[in-house]
Amino acid sequence: MIITKNNGFEFIDFLFVNETEIYNYHRLAGSYAIIKCDEKYLLCYNTLRKQWELPAGQREKNEAPRDCAIRELYEETGQNVSELEFKGLLKVKNLKSDEIKYNPIYFTTLEILQPFQKNKETSQIQLWDLKQSIGYIDEVDIKIFDYVN
């Protein structure tokens, strides 16, 4: 059984657009990095929110969305990649403010995971088969798998 936890956002849609079009969507927010390895997906345990999540985070000033995904992936999971494929935009709504935001979604496949070091945000990582019971996982993240699978 998959147990979801809401992190304050509601899934609205997944938009299949060209990467060159993403700046046409406002508010363009932080990026996700979806990693597939051994037919499973990489998740990290967020110690602040007490749930499993996909690697993702906010862009730094003047940072490109792809660079954000690469940096967040490394910071949260220790995985160092240089190539990610753009899959589309996640459209979500903030449940408190009703603000709509768009998150770029990037994807790659790895043969083997690189070593992980616990950090201030992430206590552990794991590869997930989308079925196994692992505890709480973000409900928006679950929806992303419908579009990158």
Question: CA quadruple 54, 58, 59, 60: dihedral positive or negative?
Answer: negative
Check which CATH number belongs to the domain holding 81 and give it.
Answer: 3.90.79.10
* Confidence at residue 2, expressed as pLDDT on a 0 to 100 scale: 72
Residue 3 has pLDDT above 90, yes or no: no
Domain of 43?
3-148
Per-residue pLDDT band at 4 (split at 50, 70, 90): confident
CA geometry: angle at 75 spanning 71 and 81, to 5°? 50
The number of CA neighbours under 13 Å toward the Cβ of 109 is 6
Q: CA end-to-end span of the chain, whole Å?
A: 19
How many domains are there within the chain? 1
* Residue-averaged pLDDT of the chain: 95
Answer yes or no: is pLDDT of 1 > 70: no
Question: Model pTM?
Answer: 0.95
